[in-house]
Chain A
């Protein structure tokens, strides 16, 4: 009897928490279907007119393509550099190892806004404003330290004996990494990749500073400018917001098992 009541209370607490998490977004979805901008809250008419306006009469498609290009390339750059570095930190013992690792971690705690002005000045000097690669480089640098530590935690958990056995059997070091370590590292790579993807997808300050042209904007920036482009038309803004949430949400639901495992394995240690 006692246990049942406790379980009931637990359901109440967790259920309320999930409602708090989901309800605002559900309301946003309803708002996006309401052609009257939610002002006349009595109307029950639902239509996809807002979505049509966002998809056909705005740059949304372009923003989504831009963001996908930048996000995917950032994930690839980050994962490759992080794997190389994490392999060194996990499998070699060399002077300065912990200094480098801790130094990278401290560097990653710099507030974005602190380096924004110098970064903007460099990008302007190098004629790299409004390009994909400048944002890919900056995002990669920003996400590398965390990813490096996460992948290192995963690598440390893979027994080195497996690689040694492959080396004894005549495999090269690189071969052992590709054939033995990479498959075992897959959950870690997926978790790290998803974190980086969501970060790039949602980043605003760097994205808004380093690209001013409309056709080079990323999705979060484009969404912000809806306020000025459409005025305060909540239906369209809501539709744009829902569209912008979809790609990371789909990836998350496909990969969430790895993500939660990855976050717990890497960050707590």
Chain B
């Protein structure tokens, strides 16, 4: 167990043909993976840089255009889109993480039927963004949506969440949190379960309260996982297209998400192409 791969590395050191083959073997094994990823992500991104600084007419790429393609990003509507995206990402992050954390801490205790409940909670992860968007559109429908009915009968508010800007934002955040907290929950739960139980036993002997246990043991031990989950979620939310695209479509209020407007019907096809490229360029970095 001293070293996993050392014996083989030693074999690959000599200059003979056999050793040369052994030396390139790992690269050959990695070749399919590198090939796929290079041709589908790395090369197109390089291409994107090129297109982003040139004028375009459909797929014809014209002259050097400097930063001209980027101008709309710094306009009022660009700023509005960016603000909408940031609100969406921040609110979704906070809600998803706190919900997942609360549930993970609760589910860590050996409850009966925990397996079944965990399975049920995982179900939204299986549901596509398209179905999630359609489902929440129906749930929040002003005429027959049960959630709108519920709010109306309990609080007496008449709401039509998908017909104004704030409502659409709330709807997007709700649907998004519903869709993504199971995944965060599984990762955080796994981290909590890998904490050695001796730590809790020691704390209990010293008379620590449950809150102290959580604050001084659980939280520091899973801080790294939380950071990783937060990064993954933020990446995902910032690049989310399908959910806001469908949830806010269908003749209702068109919420201007960052990408949403790149896809929207207002622009001519040419504009769609290069706005998208510019935006994409900016978003990758």
Interface flag for B138 (CB, 8 Å)? yes
Name A14-73 residues within 8 Å CB distance of B: 14-15, 17-18, 20-22, 24-25, 27-28, 31, 38-39, 41
**Beta-carbon contacts of A82-119 to B below 8 Å, as 1s and 0s?**
10110111111110010010001001111111111111
**Contact residues in B for A124 (Cβ distance below 8 Å):** 59
Of B30-38, B70-78, B151-159, the one touching chain A: B30-38
* Interface size class, chain B: 35 or more
Known: A85-B30, A111-B239, A263-B190. A117 touches B23 (CB 8 A): no
Q: Could you tell me the distance between the alpha carbons of A10 and B114 in the complex, rounded to whole angstroms?
A: 11
Contact of B59 among A113, A121, A221 (CB under 8 A): A121
**Cα of A159 to Cα of B246 in the assembled complex, Å:** 48
Closest Cβ–Cβ distance, residue B259 to chain A (whole Å): 6
Distance between Cα atoms of A121 and B51 in the complex (Å): 12
Q: Assess whether B23 is in contact with A94, with CB atoms less than 8 Å apart.
A: yes
**Across the interface, which residues of B come within 8 angstroms of A17, CB to CB?**
99, 103, 117, 121
> Does A22 contact B128, Cβ atoms closer than 8 Å?
no
Is there contact, CB below 8 Å, between B37 and A108?
yes
State whether B5 touches A93 (Cβ < 8 A).
yes
Chain A interfacial residues counted at CB < 8 A? 91
Alpha-carbon gap, A66 to B197, bound state (A)? 49
Q: Say yes or no for B122: interface residue by CB 8 A criterion.
A: yes
| Pairwise interchain contact A113-B239, C-beta atoms closer than 8 A | yes
Residues from 208 to 244 in A contacting B, C-beta threshold 8 Å: 220-221, 223-224, 227, 232, 234, 237-238, 241, 244
Of B4, B9, B26, B281, which contacts A114 at CB under 8 A? B281
Q: Majority SS of interface residues in chain B?
A: helix
Whether A245 pairs with B131 at a CB distance below 8 angstroms is yes
Q: Are B284 and A111 in touch, CB under 8 angstroms?
A: yes
- Contact across chains for A107 and B106 when beta carbons are under 8 A apart: no
Q: At the interface, yes or no: A153 with Cβ under 8 Å from chain B?
A: no
Whether B6 lies near A93 (C-beta < 8 A) is yes
Query: Which of B6, B40, B120, B127 contacts A245 (CB under 8 A)?
Result: B127
Given A117-B51, A118-B44, also A100-B30 (CB < 8 A): yes
Q: Which residue of A lies closest to B250 (CB)?
A: A227
Cross-interface CB contact of B280 among A104, A108, A113, A122, cutoff 8 Å: A113
Q: B32 near A85 (CB under 8 angstroms)?
A: yes
Contact for B139 among A27, A90, A112, CB less than 8 A? A27
Contact with A201, one of B39, B128, B182, B259 (Cβ below 8 angstroms): B128
A108 to B37, CA, bound (A): 8
Encoded as 1 (CB less than 8 Å from any B CB) or 0, chain A from 132 to 167 comes to 000001101110110010000000100110000000
24 contacts between A and B (CB under 8 A): A6-B210, A17-B103, A18-B120, A21-B123, A21-B124, A27-B146, A85-B30, A92-B25, A92-B29, A93-B4, A94-B9, A94-B27, A109-B235, A112-B239, A113-B241, A114-B280, A115-B44, A115-B45, A145-B33, A198-B126, A203-B128, A204-B242, A224-B246, A244-B131
Query: Ordered nearest first, which 4 A-B pairs have the shortest CB separation?
Result: A264-B190, A202-B128, A141-B40, A111-B239
